[in-house]
Amino acid sequence: MDRIRIVGGSRLEGVIPISGAKNAALPLMIASLLTRETLTLENLPRLADVRLLLRILGNHGVDHAIAGKRPGESAISGQTLHLDAKNIVDTTAPYELVSRMRASFWVLAPLLARMGEAKVSLPGGCAIGTRPVDLLLMALEKLGVGLDIEAGYVIARAPKGLTGGQIVFPKVTVGGTHMALMAASLARGDTVIHNAAREPEIVDLADCLIKMGAKIRGAGTSTIEISGVTSLGGARHAVLPDRIETGTYAMAVAMTGGDVFLQGARPELLQAALDTLTRTGAEITSDSLGVRVRRGGGRIHSVDVMTDPFPGFPTDLQAQFMALMTRADGVSRITETIFENRFMHVQELARFGAKIHLEHDTAVVTGVPTLKGAPVMATDLRASVSLVIAALVAEGETTVHRVYHLDRGFEQLEQKLGACGALVERISGGD
């Protein structure tokens, strides 16, 4: 297993290109199952999760081709992927594949919509508390799907096709909204999703489905209306920039000090996080080409945050923000409202000398003047990058173990940070 070695102390200066969003790329790729025609996705990030989902889709019979590098493109430019689900050969998604990535469970919706049946293993993914699928299944039941759970598999049937209905989510769920959008697009009649997730990735999926011929109104608001159509066609769609990657590097600059332009970033996708960073003392400006983050030599101010569904402060930036607060000039309270047990980074941050204690769903962080490098272990995707942020200012050397978590969601992290002056290297093999 690879490790990442970081020597702390360098300010970040330069340009970081922002990749396509993992959390948009995955549902967009899954949407290819809805049509017999080719779906072309541009600006696709090179990530382990994308490669794994290609394997899962391949198992169902989806062919894919990745376009070669075009003149003028750098190694970091997004890829163009053609997905062709003309013949679905298998409607089962096996445990071996689904257990490695929770989002792959979402194939259930398009398989049912197109084939009238699907058998999908209950999911795995990041170890961040219990992540049930009750609401995802409830949404499908509202569209006329019959469900059984047998030996760890969901067996779903809609032999006469899906029928539109009213879906009321008692809690905002991104995955539930993605699945409902895909299923309802091919259902007979009209569907209304109440209390829908408003995340930008939902809007990106809806935009792509509309290009494919779906009739969707209201994506980006909490009520989405869908009029089902009998079939969907091919489309070409560019994946939106990754707001979590943007926020992560913005926090890294706020931590180290310096001046970095996040090329291709769109500030409106993470306004709450950028406003919070401004309150910590970072200076943030933006133009049509991206977002610039600067911080001079002053102390980092402590700020309280609470995670919330979009447009609130994203749970996927909570760990990174906590890393920043370990060096702030006071006490910060960070409350996690989306996932229980999403504090596994706390004990690893403590290894740098951070002072954090937990009070139920709140981490109370008392800033310290210095962190010290240490061997640490990545536990999940977002937690692991918080360790990188801490390591960038820690005195001496840090080794982050289990970096496969990072590779799931951050494209070319060492290259991007290294190009801005960070001392980061990957060590292949070993534990």
Residues that bind ligand UD1 (CB under 6 A): 23, 26, 102-103, 131-136, 171, 173-176, 201, 315-316, 338-339
Residue 306, exposed/middle/buried by CB under 10 A (0-12, 13-18, 19+)? Answer: middle
Nearer CB in complex with ligand UD1: 174/365: 174
Of 287, 285, 276, nearest to 251 by C-alpha is 276
For 63, how many CA atoms within 13 A lie in the half-sphere containing its CB?
7
235-238 and 38-44 beta bridge pairing:
parallel
Q: Please give the positions annotated as active site.
A: 126
Nearer CB in complex with ligand UD1: 307/326: 307
What phi and psi, each to the nearest 5 degrees, are found at residue 97?
A: -95, -50
Write the DSSP symbol of residue 257.
-
Residue 177 Cβ vs ligand UD1, minimum distance, rounded to whole Å: 8
Residue 229, exposed/middle/buried by CB under 10 A (0-12, 13-18, 19+)? Answer: middle
Residue 176 Cβ vs ligand UD1, minimum distance, rounded to whole Å: 5
What are the residues facing 283 on neighbouring strands?
294
Q: Could you tell me the end-to-end alpha-carbon distance of the chain, in angstroms, rounded to an integer?
A: 5
Rounded CA-CA distance 100/176 in Å is: 19
CA-based radius of gyration for the chain: 21
Residue 314 Cβ vs ligand UD1, minimum distance, rounded to whole Å: 6
Of 328, 427, 425, nearest to 370 by C-alpha is 328
Determine the longest span between alpha carbons in the chain, in angstroms: 65
Encoding tokens for residue 262?
Answer: 């996040």
Nearer CB in complex with ligand UD1: 26/62: 26
Nearer CB in complex with ligand UD1: 95/339: 339
Task: Spell out the long-range contacts of 147-152 with Cβ–Cβ below 8 A and sequence spacing 24 or more.
Answer: 149/122, 152/95, 152/121, 152/122
> Degrees (nearest 5) of the Cα angle 173, 406, 370?
105
Of 278, 289, 288, nearest to 251 by C-alpha is 278
Encoding tokens for residue 191?
Answer: 């569907």
Of 411, 318, 428, nearest to 79 by C-alpha is 411
Residue 325 Cβ vs ligand UD1, minimum distance, rounded to whole Å: 19
Residue 316 Cβ vs ligand UD1, minimum distance, rounded to whole Å: 5
What phi and psi, each to the nearest 5 degrees, are found at residue 182?
A: -65, -45
Nearer CB in complex with ligand UD1: 133/255: 133
Q: Which residue is nearest to ligand UD1 (CB)?
A: 175
Write the DSSP symbol of residue 352.
T
Residue 409 Cβ vs ligand UD1, minimum distance, rounded to whole Å: 8
CB 374: neighbour CB atoms within 10 A? 20
Nearer CB in complex with ligand UD1: 175/241: 175
Rounded CA-CA distance 386/129 in Å is: 18
Write the DSSP symbol of residue 9.
-
Residue 173 Cβ vs ligand UD1, minimum distance, rounded to whole Å: 3
Nearer CB in complex with ligand UD1: 56/260: 56
Residue 185 Cβ vs ligand UD1, minimum distance, rounded to whole Å: 18
Nearer CB in complex with ligand UD1: 133/235: 133
Nearer CB in complex with ligand UD1: 83/338: 338
Residue 150 Cβ vs ligand UD1, minimum distance, rounded to whole Å: 19
Rounded CA-CA distance 65/67 in Å is: 6
3-7 and 92-93 beta bridge pairing:
unpaired
